[in-house]
Amino acid sequence: NGEVESPAAKDFKAHAHLFGLEASDLGRRFVSQGKEFMIAGLKPRNRKYPIIATGVSDGRSFKFSEEGIKARLAMYSGQVKA
């Protein structure tokens, strides 16, 4: 498809299991504070907020904690992954 994968996306696929997530969670959508986000990558060296997510409406990047992401994904587990 010609798209270039970011280093954070590669890190997510390689290290998601260390954070209690699956590599297939990359691209999964969730809602936080009324805004929809999509998991875009992982920065494993950032222990407090290692998960990178992109706002669906504006494309801005935000950092999330491991526990915060797991809780939000559990709340929206019925949603289809992007």
Give residue 75's pLDDT band: very low, low, confident or very high (50, 70, 90).
confident
Residue 81 has pLDDT above 60, yes or no: no
User: From start to end of the chain, where are the E strands?
Assistant: 29-32, 35-42, 51-55, 61-64
Give residue 82's pLDDT band: very low, low, confident or very high (50, 70, 90).
very low
Residue 17 CB neighbours (<10 A): 10
Residue 10 sits at φ, ψ, to 5 deg, of -65, -40
Question: Taking residues 63-80, what's their average pLDDT?
Answer: 82
